[in-house]
Amino acid sequence: MTPALPAPTTAVTVVGIGADGWPGLPETSRAALCEAEVLIGGARQLDLLPPECTGRRVAWPSPLRPAVPGLLAAHAGRRVAVLASGDPMFYGIGRALAEETDALRVLPHPSSVSYAAARLGWPLEDVEVVTLVGRPSARLAAALHQGRRLLVLSADATTPVEVAALLRDRGFGPSRMRVLEQLGGEKERTGAEAAADDWPMSQPPGDPLNIVAVACRRAPDALRLGAVPGLPDEAYEHDGQLTKRHIRAATLGVLAPAPGELLWDIGGGSGSIAVEWMRTHPSCRALSVERDPARADRIGRNAERLGVPGLRVVTGAAPAVLAELPPPDAVFIGGGLTAPGLLDACWEALPAGGASSPTP
């Protein structure tokens, strides 16, 4: 018989709080905050609590994520409540805490996404959410398709201007935008709708707590980029080293990317295989190995323009650089197949059941 798991230690309670602050919290959340011996959160969130929350108040340091284990250890055995914006498990601190402790109690609040969908009358199942909090705005490009509705989680008050600029640059200037601020609070405000082409770029920034709604419309002369591998060759900057469209589509079909998997793209050239691997799912990862520095820079530009700025480019010659890379789930060899030891090194790095494809 499998032994029972040990009883959890004192639970860390994560309380979602909205722009409406203390008045918007249910009694269960209020009680958890009043009973806590330690209250951890952002300075803005802690300021929303009344005096009856007598626990010691600890503001998150910056950077936040590396500090989580230390803070939990420092207050082990005490009643700890962590404040989070909206739903803690939706792009919130709840994920980081869940990775550190099994003793977690989550009391969610409606997220800004839920409020935005309600205000706009957009069914959430038909909306794609893209967060730009702590992430480059270029990742929004992968979500741009004619007729799609997007809700963009803003990093701060400057994000709407960045979104408008990216839409124009990627051929989606006709897209309709609207900024919703302080959702659920007394200062809630929904701005006027405008096309990205007409969005004012020099106006004073609004509230930093905002979300951007985008109804995507592609300009008539913009290049159409589909949702499956096989993007037009014209989508890439290249010097002739480009896996052609139909071969690229067939190759990705054989490699069969699945969510969360890592690809090694050896001899990246323009980076097209790695880029389209990552575009298949937001959690897909890729490393593009390219020995030519100019081509390596070009791969980075292609990745940013096509919405996968997280593509890691390794400048160096294979197989020498492969030993330092995390193990792949699949390998594509686009160049250097004749290099001594390359094929053997790739086979050895692949796990059982992994995929490998040399240039067709």
Over the stretch 125-179, which tens digit does the pLDDT of each residue have? 999 999 999 999 999 999 999 999 999 999 999 999 999 999 999 999 999 999 9
Q: Distance between CA atoms of 67 and 274, rounded to whole angstroms?
A: 33
Q: Determine the pLDDT at residue 205.
A: 76
Q: What percent of the chain has pLDDT over 90?
A: 84
User: 90 to each of 86, 106, 128, how far by Cα in Å?
Assistant: 8, 12, 13
Over the stretch 9-54, which tens digit does the pLDDT of each residue have? 468 999 999 999 999 999 999 999 999 999 999 999 999 999 999 9
Over the stretch 98-119, which tens digit does the pLDDT of each residue have? 999 989 999 999 999 999 999 9
Cβ count within 10 A of residue 242:
19
Q: Hey, is 309 helix, strand or coil?
A: coil
Average pLDDT over residues 215-241: 95
pLDDT band at residue 6 using 50, 70 and 90 as cut-offs: very low
pLDDT band at residue 8 using 50, 70 and 90 as cut-offs: very low
pLDDT band at residue 2 using 50, 70 and 90 as cut-offs: very low
Q: Distance between CA atoms of 225 and 234, rounded to whole angstroms?
A: 10
Predicted structure pTM score: 0.88
Q: Which helix (H) or strand (E) holds 348?
A: helix 342-349
CA dihedral 342, 348, 354, 357 (to 10 degrees): 10
Average pLDDT over residues 261-283: 96
Tokens of 123: 């069914």
pLDDT band at residue 5 using 50, 70 and 90 as cut-offs: very low
Q: Name the average pLDDT for the chain.
A: 92
pLDDT band at residue 340 using 50, 70 and 90 as cut-offs: confident
What domains are there in the chain, each with its CATH number? 12-110 (3.40.1010.10), 113-215 (3.30.950.10), 233-358 (3.40.50.150)
Question: How many angstroms from the chain centroid is the CA of residue 79?
Answer: 31
In the chain, % helix, strand, coil (3-state, to 5) comes to: 30, 20, 50
Which residue type is seen at 202? Answer: S
Q: Distance between CA atoms of 13 and 88, rounded to whole angstroms?
A: 11
Q: Which residue did the predictor score with more confidence, 201 or 238?
A: 238
Q: By the 8 A CB rule, do 131 and 153 touch?
A: yes
Average pLDDT over residues 341-354: 85
Q: Which residue did the predictor score with more confidence, 292 or 335?
A: 292
